[in-house]
């Protein structure tokens, strides 16, 4: 498993201990979803303006959002034993995460870990467009957050 973390925003200072926590979250989520341990996840932290631009470019929605996920792997794809599996990219607006942490009255770390879990579930094929799918995804989110020791 590899997690590539990039920070392209200057609004929120990223605590040094987040790297280990992010790696733990990705590892647990991939294990629980039975994703090949050679999976590689790219995580990009941006501000609201940057995520708005990504949302406009890739989803034709001209609005800032909290997290975007771009899957790059299908479970039925052949696996080359020598290479990492490009599982997908996750983009999180730390500016939006900070706003939501205040709104929901919990820590920024908790909000970012939730958004990471949410993004990982999207990479795993979950969605929340239909109410039944939303219920399944929310249950998975809670299970994974509990497994990594992050509570509301």
Domain ranges of the chain: 2-147
Q: Which is the CATH superfamily of the domain at 2-147?
A: Metalloproteases ("zincins"), catalytic domain (3.40.390.30)
Distance CA 85, CA 2 (A): 9
Task: Tell me what the pLDDT averaged over the chain comes to.
Answer: 92
pLDDT band, residue 152 (cuts 50/70/90): low
Q: Write out pLDDT tens, residues 100-114.
A: 999 999 999 999 999
Mean pLDDT is highest, among 17-21, 27-31, 89-93, 142-146, for 89-93
**Between 74 and 28, residue with greater pLDDT:** 28
Q: pLDDT tens across 31-81, in order? A: 999 988 889 999 999 999 999 999 999 999 999 999 999 999 765 555 566
Strand order in the sheet with 85-93: 2-7, 39-46, 85-93, 67-71
pLDDT band at 85 (very low <50, low <70, confident <90, very high): confident
- CB distance 36 to 85 below 8 Å: yes
- Residue 12's nearest CA partner among 102, 138, 77 is 102
């Amino acid at each position: 498993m590899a997690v590539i973390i990039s920070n392209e925003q200057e609004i929120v200072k990223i605590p040094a201990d987040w790297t280990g926590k992010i790696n733990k979250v990705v590892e647990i989520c991939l294990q629980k979803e039975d994703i090949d341990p050679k999976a590689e996840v790219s995580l990009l932290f941006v501000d609201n303006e940057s995520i708005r631009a990504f949302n406009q470019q890739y989803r034709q929605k001209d609005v800032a959002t909290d997290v975007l996920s771009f899957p790059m792997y299908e479970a039925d794809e052949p696996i080359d034993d020598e290479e990492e599996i490009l599982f997908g990219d996750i983009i999180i607006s730390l500016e939006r995460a900070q706003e939501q942490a205040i709104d929901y009255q919990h820590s920024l770390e908790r909000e970012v870990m939730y958004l990471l879990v949410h993004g990982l579930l999207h990479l795993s094929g979950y969605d929340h467009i239909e109410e039944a799918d939303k219920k399944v995804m929310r249950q998975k989110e809670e299970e994974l957050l509990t497994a990594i020791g992050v509570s509301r």
